[in-house]
Amino acid sequence: MGKAILEMKGINKSFGNVSVLKDVDFTLQEGEVHALVGGNGAGKSTLMKIMTGVYSLDSGEIYINGERKNIQNTKDAKENGIAMIFQELSLVPTMTIAENIFLGEEITKTGFRDVSAMNKRAKEILNDLGIFINPELKVNQLSVGMSQMIEIAKAISKNARILVLDEPTASLSDSETVQLFRIIRQLKENGVSMVYISHRMNEILSISDAVTILRDGKKIITDNIENLDLDKIISHLVGGEASQKKFEWVEREYDANKDLILKVKNLKISDKIQNISFELQKGEILGIAGLMGSGRTEILETLFGIRKKLGGTIELLGKEININSSQDAIRYGFALIPEDRRRQGLVLGHSVKSNAILPYLRNLLIGKTYLISEKASNELANDDIKRLNIKTDSIHKRINLLSGGNQQKVVIAKWLNMNPKIMMLDEPTAGVDIGAKTEIIEIIRKFADEGKGVIFVSSELTELLSVCDRIITIFDGRITGSILRKNINSEEELQNAIQRSE
């Protein structure tokens, strides 16, 4: 057994009168990857924000290398070698990679910023981590995955000995995840101790040495990974509550009369993404599988009017339609639950309620006035909270104060309230816990059962296989196949299909 590099003892934290952490103990051993696991709102991010000085604790003690420390702010944490990669990325998009890495600690020469020295040093730091990219590129030109790696490089350049990764893979593709895991193993070899937060059990089982499980702000257990398995972790996670339904695929009846709800023909989105043709039947759940960058998101964005099509036709219920804006798309009955919920899905300064009812406002007016019925809108928001099991103490809470997974549920509630004809979901379960995933999948099925159409994009093949009736595969901007779910026998088969160019 190694020695404890960090100990948190008896940590308590409340926001207002809501107690979020209750007498939590947490010990990180030197050089280990320690998974912190728990449902949405269990208190994982809050515990780590206390460790990194973002939040102050109400009571409790923190020790680093056996020495009592008083971490009041992020500067104190940094001085103690602690860094955190947040659930929400924090790079400045308009600055270069190198400028971001040295932000606030620029290398100077005779009083001026030494840009070439910073570029050179940034390159070395990145190369050490096996990342080969030009440090002069602006961050807004990078994929989410690459931004994530840059954040890590930035933390490491500050000599962090303790690194917290809060759901780092929620928006990464499979291959980016592989790269991240390589970096984590490299850091571990260099003696960095890490806390790893994730809702993906396969990641936890493959990367961590020890696991701590939080439930409703209480520590349930800490144990070495050898003593745990998937079933044990899940049973600690959900506690005495009803046992979790596994996401098992069930064949659905949907094509009785083969009515088409949507027909996309020869859609051209860019020089790379073209000849996109597919059909969606009433009641069908259609999956789109492909690697990151293959064009999945672009197809959804075009149907939702965020991108302009360069050619081809879109037919809704047998009639050709023209979608020039999101307003058009919404009017025709499309809904899009976007991949990047913080940027596109929510108004962060507003309450849970005003976010949930946003697309539905017109239906909440009193008589012929422009006044919103307070009673009707409160009822709707309260229903959403119950239906999707959204964890918040009130519908009036500001949405950015909800935990990550609960924010995602509000996005889904918002679009369901609009009662769309076609629901498009782009990685909807990124960052939501197992319980909520099962709920979201149930919601998708029920929605399709009403004879509506669903288009579902996910990098998690297990998920596609558990919910879709049919899956189309795309490779490098072209559709390469359409397979009925019942003809797919394993995840591997699908994995192979998405990696083939024909």
Q: Which does 34 bind (CB under 5 to 8 A by kind): Mg ion, ligand ATP, none?
A: none
Contact 438, 244 (CB under 8 A): yes
Does the footprint of ligand ATP cover residue 20 (CB under 6 A)?
yes
Contact 432, 440 (CB under 8 A): yes
Contact 139, 96 (CB under 8 A): yes
DSSP class of 267: E
Does the footprint of ligand ATP cover residue 44 (CB under 6 A)?
yes
Spell out where 274-384 has E strands.
276-281, 285-290, 311-316, 319-321, 334-337
Could you tell me the smallest distance in angstroms from the CB atom of residue 416 to ligand ATP? 20
Q: Residue with structure tokens 């096996």?
A: 130
Residue whose CB is less far from Mg ion, 39 or 81: 39
Could you tell me the smallest distance in angstroms from the CB atom of residue 214 to ligand ATP? 7
Could you tell me the smallest distance in angstroms from the CB atom of residue 305 to ligand ATP? 30
Does the footprint of Mg ion cover residue 404 (CB under 5 A)?
yes
Collect all residues with Cβ–Cβ distance below 8 Å to 374 and sequence separation of at least 6.
Answer: none
Contact 215, 191 (CB under 8 A): no
Q: Which does 179 bind (CB under 5 to 8 A by kind): Mg ion, ligand ATP, none?
A: none
Q: Which helix (H) or strand (E) holds 215?
A: strand 210-215
Residue whose CB is less far from ligand ATP, 15 or 442: 15
Collect all residues with Cβ–Cβ distance below 8 Å to 284 and sequence separation of at least 6.
Answer: 254, 255, 261, 448, 453, 454, 469, 470
Could you tell me the smallest distance in angstroms from the CB atom of residue 88 to Mg ion? 10
Does the footprint of Mg ion cover residue 45 (CB under 5 A)?
yes
Q: Which does 46 bind (CB under 5 to 8 A by kind): Mg ion, ligand ATP, none?
A: ligand ATP
Could you tell me the smallest distance in angstroms from the CB atom of residue 306 to ligand ATP? 26
Residue whose CB is less far from ligand ATP, 29 or 403: 403
Rounded distance between C-alpha atoms, residue 60 and residue 55, angstroms: 13
Q: Among the candidate windows 289-297, 369-377, 403-411, 441-449, which touches ligand ATP by CB under 6 A?
A: 403-411
Residue whose CB is less far from ligand ATP, 125 or 381: 381
Q: Which long-range contacts (CB under 8 A, 24 or more apart) does 493-500 make?
A: 494/289, 494/461, 494/464, 494/465, 495/461, 497/289, 497/473, 498/289, 498/290, 498/291, 498/294, 498/473, 498/474, 499/291, 499/475, 500/473, 500/475
Does the footprint of ligand ATP cover residue 295 (CB under 6 A)?
no
Rounded distance between C-alpha atoms, residue 244 and residue 232, angstroms: 12
Q: Which of 69, 268, 391, 478 binds ligand ATP (CB under 6 A)?
A: 391
Q: Which of 45, 119, 157, 297 binds ligand ATP (CB under 6 A)?
A: 45
Q: Among the candidate windows 237-245, 268-276, 397-405, 473-481, which touches Mg ion by CB under 5 A?
A: 397-405
Q: Which does 401 bind (CB under 5 to 8 A by kind): Mg ion, ligand ATP, none?
A: ligand ATP
Restricting to residues 87-126, which ones interact with ligand ATP according to CB under 6 A?
A: 87
Nearest to 140 by CA among 170, 178, 99, 110: 99
Rounded distance between C-alpha atoms, residue 388 and residue 407, angstroms: 11
Residue whose CB is less far from Mg ion, 232 or 391: 391
Residues making contact with ligand ATP (CB under 6 A): 15, 20, 38, 40-46, 87, 391, 401-406
Binding site for Mg ion (CB under 5 A): 45, 404
